[in-house]
Chains A and B, each alone.
Chain A
C-alpha cells in the first residue's frame, strides 16, 4: 500500500475517531448516571448516593476532558483533510455541526464547570440543574453527530447546484427513518457501555470485599439497567440492519459475507474472502438462517456481493467481522445482565449473600464490552460505506484536500499518534487509580480533594 494523502487522511480520521468515540460513549451514559445519582440523593437524602456521585464525578471529569479535547480535532479535520468534502457538502454538514456546538458543546462545557467546581457556590437545585444540563448536552451532541453521519450514509433532502450539495428539505433530513433508528442505537449503546462499567466496578469491589454498600448499588443498578436496555438494543439493532439492507446493498452484502445470491440464504459465521474469484476461500455457515434474519422468512432470495459493481464494493473483512464482534458483545451483555439480575435477586433473598464468584468475575471482565461493540459498530458503518464518503453521491477519493501533501499528512498523523499515546495511557491510569481508591476516598492532595472552589465575594 502506497502512502498518499488520501490513505493517510483516512488512517488519521479512523485513528482520531476511534480514540475520540471511546470517551463520549462513556460520558454520555456517565452524565446521565450522575444526574440520576444526584436526583436520587436529593429525593432520598441517603448518603450513599452522594458518595457514589462524588466517586463517579472524579472519573467523569477525566473522561469528559479527554472527550472534549479529542472532539475539537474532529471539528477541524473536515476542513484540514477533507476540504473538498467540506466545500461541497458544507451547506448541509456545516449547519448540522454548527447546531451541535451551539446547542450541545457550549451547554455541556459551561455547566461542566459548575458541576465540578460549583457545589459550594450554588443551591442544590441549581447544582442538580447543572448536572441535567451536562447530561442533556452530551445527548443532544450525539443527536447532531448522528444526524450528520446519517446524512452521509443515506443522503436525503438535497439538490446539486454545480458541484455543491444544497439543502432543499431540512424536514426530510431530520425525519429520516434512518436517523431515528441510528440515534437510539447510539444512545442505548452509550448507556449500556456505562451500565457495564458501573456494574463491573461493583462486581470488582464485591470480589475484593470493599465498599460493600456502594458495590451493591452499582451492581444492582448497572445490571438492572443493562437487562432492560439490551433487548431493546437488539431490536433496534435489527432495524438498523433493515435500513442497511434497504439503502446500502454494498455494505449489507459485505456484512453478510455472501458473494453469490442465494435462495434460501445461509448465515455465515466465519469467512475469508477470495476477492478475485468472488467467493469465500473458507467459510462456516448455518443453512436458511440468513434468509430468516434478513427477511424473517425461510426461503427468501438474498442478494450477494456480485450484485454490486466492482468499483462500488467496500472492503470485506472489517464490515464482516466488525458486525460479528458487535453482535457478539451484545449477546455477552444479554447473558451477563439477565443472569445477573436473576442471581443478584436470588442472592439477596438468601440473607444478603453475595452473588456467586464466577458471575462476579464474568461481570468484572465484561467492562469493555460496550466500548468494543461501539468501536466495532462504527467501523462496520463507516468502512462499509466505502468507497463513498456521501453514499452513492461522493467518493472518498474525491473528498480529500487537493493541496494536501504526503509529508504534511504524515506529520499530522504522527503528531496525533504521539500525543494520543502519551495521554491515553495517562488518562486510563488516572481513571484506574480513582477506581482503585474507590468511593469515599476523598480529600486527596491539594486542590483536587473536594473540588468545590472556595471563593470569597468580590470586594466592592
Chain B
C-alpha cells in the first residue's frame, strides 16, 4: 500500500514537473524566437539596405537555436501529454501548416538572401513575410485555445477553420506587436548608429500597441462568457500581479527610450511578455486544453514520464541551459556595421 501511494505521488509530481517544463519551454521559445521573429517583422518596415543587413546580422548566429525550442515544446507535449498533443495539432491543422510553411520560408531565405544577386529582394520578402505570418498564426492559436476547442470522445470534433475568430485575430495582432517589441528591444541592445535610432523610434509605438492588445484581450475574457472569466473575478489579487508587471515593463521601456539605455528595453519587453504568460497560466491551470482536458488526464503513463525525467529532465535540460547561455555569452555585445 505505501509503495502504491509513493508511486501515485511520484506520478503526480512528474505530471507537475513536465507541465512546468512545458510552460518553461514555451516561455523560452517566446522570449528567444520572439525577438528574432520580431526582428524579421521589423525588417519589413526598414527600407535601408545597410540597416537591413545589420538587423539580420544580430540574429544570424542564434535564430536556429531559438527556433529549436519550438521543437522542444512540440516533443515535450508529445512525450508527456500525448492526448493533448493529438487533439491540439488536429484542431490547429491549418494554422500549424501555415506556421511551419512560414518558418521554412523564413529560415531558408535568411540563408539564401546573402548568396543571391537578383533574387535578394524575393528572399528578403520571404524573410519578413514569413516572420510576420508565423507570429500571427501563433497568436491566433493562443487566442483560439483561450476560447476553447471542440472535443468529443477524446478527439477533436470541430472544423478546419474553427480557430479563426475575432478573439483569435486579436491574439494574432497582439503577438505580432509583442514579438516586434522584443525585436526592437533586441536591436537597441545589439546595434548602434542608424538601426539603433530607428529601433528607438519603434519601441514606444510597439509598447503601446502591445499593452493595448494585452489589456483588450484581458477585458474581453472578463466580459465574455469564456470559461476562465470567473477565475479572475474570484481572485482580484491575482489580477493585480500581472497588471503591475505590465505597467512596470511599460514604464521601463519608456525610461529606456527617454534615457537611451540600450540594455533596459529588451528585459522590460520580456517582463511584459512574462506577465502576460503568467496571466495565461493562471487562467488555465490545471487545464491543458481549457475546460476539456486537465494535465493529469492528458499525461503519459508514469513509465514514460520517469524515463523522461531521469535523463532529459534531470541531466540534459540543465546542460542545455548552460551551453545556451554560453553561446549567447560568446556573441555578447554589439554587432558592428558591416561597412563602417
- Could you list which residues of chain A lie within 8 angstroms of chain B, going by C-beta atoms? 61-62, 65-66, 68-73, 75-76, 78-80, 83-84, 86-87, 89-95, 97-103, 105-107, 109-114, 116-118, 121-122, 161, 164, 166-168, 170, 401-405, 407-408, 411-412, 415-416, 419, 422-423, 426-427, 430, 433-434, 445-448, 453-459
Contacts and interface: CB of A to CB of B under 8 A. Distances in A.
A402 B312 CA distance: 32
A217 B74 CA distance: 43
B7 interface: no
B323 interface: yes
28 contacts: A72-B67, A80-B93, A80-B96, A80-B97, A86-B82, A87-B85, A87-B87, A91-B82, A91-B303, A94-B78, A94-B80, A98-B75, A106-B69, A110-B64, A117-B60, A166-B301, A167-B301, A170-B303, A402-B90, A411-B94, A412-B97, A419-B101, A419-B105, A427-B108, A430-B115, A446-B53, A448-B115, A458-B332
Interface in B83-123: 83, 85-91, 93-94, 96-98, 100-101, 103-105, 107-108, 110-112, 114-117, 119
A415 B78 CA distance: 24
A102 B73 CA distance: 10
B68 A109 contact: yes
B79 interface: yes
Interface in B212-264: 262-263
Interface stretch (B40-48, B151-159, B176-184, B268-276): B151-159
A448 B112 CA distance: 10
B71 A458 contact: no
B142 to A, nearest CB: 16
A448 B145 CA distance: 41
Contacts of A170: 303, 307
A346 to B, nearest CB: 40
A90 B316 contact: no
A99 B111 CA distance: 28
A203 B97 CA distance: 42
B111 A97 contact: no
Which 10 interchain pairs have the tightest Cβ spacing?
A90-B82, A79-B89, A94-B79, A98-B79, A87-B86, A448-B114, A113-B61, A83-B86, A117-B61, A110-B65
A295 B308 CA distance: 41
Contacts of B117: 445
Contacts of B80: 94, 98
Instruction: Report the contact-size class of chain B (Cβ under 8 Å from the partner).
Output: 35 or more
B164 interface: no
B335 interface: yes
B144 to A, nearest CB: 15
Counting chain A CB atoms within 10 Å of each CB, which of B53, B114, B159 scores highest? B114
Contact of B67 (A109, A168, A407): A109
Given A102-B317, A403-B156, A412-B97, A65 B64 contact: yes
A80 B96 CA distance: 8
Interface centre among A61, A92, A112, A455 (most CB of B within 10 A): A455
A447 B333 contact: no
A137 to B, nearest CB: 10
Given A90-B82, A453-B335, A102 B104 contact: no
Nearest to A117: B61
A416 B335 CA distance: 35
Given A80-B96, A87-B154, A458-B332, 9 more contacts: A68-B67, A69-B104, A72-B104, A97-B75, A167-B301, A167-B304, A427-B108, A445-B117, A453-B335
A427 B154 CA distance: 42
Contacts of A453: 57, 60-61, 331, 335
Contact of A106 (B68, B74, B301): B68
A73 B155 contact: no
B281 interface: no
B116 A430 contact: yes
Given A99-B312, A109-B68, A447-B338, A94 B300 contact: yes
B5 interface: no
A103 B311 CA distance: 10
Contact of A72 (B62, B79, B103, B331): B103
A92 B304 contact: yes
B320 interface: yes
B71 A75 contact: yes
Contacts of A103: 312, 316
Nearest to B189: A458
B324 interface: yes
Interface string B296-340: 000011011001100110001100100110010011111110100
Contacts of B116: 430
A407 B97 CA distance: 13
B107 A101 contact: no
Contact of B311 (A99, A411, A422): A99
B108 A78 contact: no
Contacts of A416: 97, 101
Contacts of B107: 65, 68-69
Contacts of B26: none
B112 A94 contact: no
B160 interface: yes
A105 B69 CA distance: 9
A91 B300 contact: yes
Nearest to B154: A87
B170 interface: no
A113 B331 contact: yes
B330 to A, nearest CB: 5
B55 to A, nearest CB: 11
B65 A113 contact: yes
Nearest to B337: A454
B56 interface: yes
B72 interface: yes
Contacts of B69: 106
Contacts of A80: 89-90, 93, 96-97
Contacts of A459: 262, 334
B278 interface: no
A307 B74 CA distance: 41
A90 B299 CA distance: 10
B330 A114 contact: yes
Query: Which among A86, A168, A427 has the highest number of chain B CB atoms within 10 Å?
Result: A86
Contacts of A168: 303
Nearest to A400: B90
Given A91-B303, A99-B312, A412-B93, A113 B86 contact: no
A76 B100 contact: yes
A105 B72 contact: yes
B76 interface: yes
A455 B333 contact: yes
Contacts of B157: 403
B330 A122 contact: yes
Residue from B68, B112, B116, B335 with most neighbouring chain A CB atoms (10 Å): B68
Contacts of B300: 90-91, 94-95
A111 to B, nearest CB: 7
A278 to B, nearest CB: 39
